[in-house]
Structure 1
Amino acid sequence: MKWFHIESRLAWTDSLVHTGLLAGASLLISQNLAYYHPQKGKYLYLLVYATILSVIWLTFSTCLMRSIFPYKTEYYHWMIDALPVRYIIGWLIITGMGMKSLVWHELGEQRALMARKDATERMAREAELFKLRQQLQPHFLFNSLNSINALIMLRPQQAREMVLKLSDFLRGSIKREDQQWISLTEELQYLEWYLDIEKVRFGHRLSTEVSSVVEAQAMQMPPMLLQPVVENAIKYGLYDTTEAITITIRAWKEDELLKIEVRNPFDPVLQQPHRGTGFGLSSIRRRLYLLFARNDLLETQAIDNIYTTLIKVPQPNDKSSNH
């Protein structure tokens, strides 16, 4: 039996030798480009490398076949005629394997680069979030210590009570230091400790109404999110008046969001809260943006001497919250 006027044994040997060596050349360029990647002119490097390797492959295959069958003149002439076609096919296969290796490596580098970028951005966000949380504590602590100092001589019993409540508040904040999420119930408990301190400071002038629907109480939120909002409400509601005020805080679930509203009265003659929300609200806005990449999660408005702050908290398992 003959193929192209070549004996079958000779044809099979020719096929095995050329195919085997071609596979070896393809593996060689693939492995080489997996570990060596020129920074400049990599595609030119690939073309030159594939061209040289194709010449070596075809030359070695031809010489090997001539050494195995030295007296097959008819086969030798056929092999010479087939060299251009074999070279083109071999070059395409070797170049394709090299290109595959280059593309695979570039995709891997891009994935690694994106992973490093994401890790860096995540660390930067976490560092900024930590900084924002830490900035809130001294601000509140200084106010509390000043109040305690003022109460020591005039009302020592209230000063002692305020120290104990401040201790409970700080102990609770330390426990939440490493927590990224807490339930609404836990946040309201933390807020209650804070309000206990403020009520010692302001006495009967400050009262609060806190309410939450049952389905919202287990919903998650970042810790210490409400304290600066309520502190802002106390600042604009009490600091420039001698009258008593009531701050209303309510929470509910709506459209898979935890919504929390804080309302306080203010004097429009003395205060213009819509023009300057202070560090507290700006820090909350920034925290929400860092967590959810959204700028619409904190809303404020002043209508009929009532200042309203609305916070919307997407839930951690809500995939749409990051878009």
Structure 2
Amino acid sequence: MARNIASQKKVVLIFFTTFLAWFGIWSTLQVKVLQDFGIPYSHAIPDAVISNLLLEGFCLLVINNMRYYLPKQEKYWYTLVISVALSSLWLLLLRIILWAFFKNDPVYMNALVHTSTIRFAIAFLIIGCCTVLSLLWYTQRNQQADADRRQDMERLAREAELNKLRQQLQPHFLFNSLNSISALTGSQPEKARHMIQQLSDFLRGTLKKEQQQWTNFEEELQYLQLYLDIEKVRFGYRLQTSIDCADDALQMNLPSMLLQPLVENAIKFGLYDTIGEVTIFIQAKNVNGLLEVSVQNPFDELTSVPVKGTGFGLSSIRRRLFLLFGRHDLLQIKKEADKFITTISIPQQHESNNN
């Protein structure tokens, strides 16, 4: 925004410098033209100065007027009418002022009358050009302001949708955790207290992460570990995890709280339809400058059934990635024999937007 304002000020300065320089040059040329009509320097110089100061004032009046009233549909008629009206008024005022100065010089007054038509034509062209340029300038500026407002509205709408998606992370997981704590309270109170502490740490971390849009993979992994510790209390020995992260991927960036729903989806479809031990594999690596994270869980198409829930899953992750990057290909799903693999690729060109 500050850059746009500075750019506009520079354009305005250049415009007015050119504007004043042009009138200075035109005044000099007018003196030469008046001499060709037989008017001496003593009359030609005041004539040129007075007529061009008046003309310059009318042009500034047009420019200032466009700031407060910018015609829309009627802009062509407006340009014509205002050019004719101001040119006529300019000529009238010029003749009154010059008559007051040179009324005792019949030769000059006769020349003034004979040059009135060409003076009017020149004034009409100059005021008309000034009107058109002002119209184009303010129209372009208004269009840019409208475009900026639309961009801000789209950004706010996108951020609101992203926040909504992030807020949907908690309820489903929270309900499951509270149900597990409730079940453990009677039979294993010590484990229930431990799970409450873990849940408290997890939610506290969530509140901190809601303030930032981006994080690095190492921090996200620490947050994910809190989630996995809680889930391991729920599922006991049945849930095992294997995390393989390349060193150069640890400091790469990704949207905060993106891994949890990915892993939650793997747990849901990997454990809910089995009774044995299940290992969730999480792998992260740098692939040509992209952070590639894969989550793998066992999958049996014959026994696997859709699990009813809140509807928050891979579709919301895909939507969030699209809102951030404008791409639909950043989430890939693959089924291989008894494996279900979900892979996300995170471009790193948004590193500057971490906060």
Same-fold status (TM-score > 0.5): yes
Cα distance in 1, alignment partners of residues 286 and 122 from structure 2: 66
Superposition map of 1:197-216 within 5 A: 197-216=230-249
2:212 corresponds to 1:179: yes
Aligned-residue sequence identity (percent) comes to 48
What whole-Å deviation, never above 9, does each CA across 1:65-111 have from its counterpart, x for those lacking one?
Answer: 22211233333333233222221211111111122222222122112
1:18: which partner in 2?
51
Please state whether the residue corresponding to 1:248 is helix, strand or coil: strand
User: Among residues 262, 281, 286, which one is paired with 1:253 in the alignment?
Assistant: 286
2:232 corresponds to 1:227: no
Please state whether the residue corresponding to 2:292 is helix, strand or coil: strand
1:239: which partner in 2?
272
Contact 1:261-1:310 within 8 A present in 2 as well: yes
Cα distance in 2, alignment partners of residues 67 and 26 from structure 1: 24
1:5: which partner in 2?
38
2:327 corresponds to 1:304: no
Stretches of structure 1 that go unaligned for 5 or more consecutive residues are none
TM-score of the two chains, using structure 2 as the length reference: 0.84
2:160 corresponds to 1:127: yes
Superposition map of 1:105-144 within 5 A: 105-144=138-177
Cα distance in 2, alignment partners of residues 267 and 159 from structure 1: 32
Please state whether the residue corresponding to 2:321 is helix, strand or coil: helix
Please state whether the residue corresponding to 2:279 is helix, strand or coil: strand
- 1:190 Cα deviation after fit: 0.6
Cα distance in 1, alignment partners of residues 305 and 272 from structure 2: 13
- Of 255-264 and 97-106, deviating more is 97-106
2:155 counterpart letter in structure 1? R
2:59 counterpart letter in structure 1? S
1:291: which partner in 2?
324
Cα distance in 2, alignment partners of residues 305 and 261 from structure 1: 16
Cα distance in 1, alignment partners of residues 343 and 44 from structure 2: 82
Cα distance in 1, alignment partners of residues 207 and 351 from structure 2: 28
Stretches of structure 2 that go unaligned for 5 or more consecutive residues are 1-31
What whole-Å deviation, never above 9, does each CA across 1:256-314 have from its counterpart, x for those lacking one?
Answer: 211111111111102277xx995221111111111111111111111111111111112
2:179: which partner in 1?
146
Q: CA RMSD in A?
A: 2.1
User: Among residues 90, 106, 119, which one is paired with 1:73 in the alignment?
Assistant: 106
Cα distance in 2, alignment partners of residues 303 and 84 from structure 1: 88
User: Among residues 97, 101, 119, which one is paired with 1:64 in the alignment?
Assistant: 97
Cα distance in 2, alignment partners of residues 16 and 164 from structure 1: 86
User: Among residues 115, 119, 126, which one is paired with 1:86 in the alignment?
Assistant: 119
Alignment CA distance shift 1:185-1:309 (3 Å): same
Please state whether the residue corresponding to 2:222 is helix, strand or coil: helix
What whole-Å deviation, never above 9, does each CA across 1:175-231 have from its counterpart, x for those lacking one?
Answer: 212111111001000111111111111111111111211111111111110111101
Please state whether the residue corresponding to 1:279 is helix, strand or coil: coil
- 1:39 Cα deviation after fit: 4.8
TM-score of the two chains, using structure 1 as the length reference: 0.92
Cα distance in 1, alignment partners of residues 50 and 184 from structure 2: 98
Alignment CA distance shift 1:317-1:283 (3 Å): closer
Contact 2:172-2:310 within 8 A present in 1 as well: no
1:30 counterpart letter in structure 2? I
Contact 2:63-2:134 within 8 A present in 1 as well: yes
Contact 2:70-2:139 within 8 A present in 1 as well: no
- Number of equivalenced pairs: 317
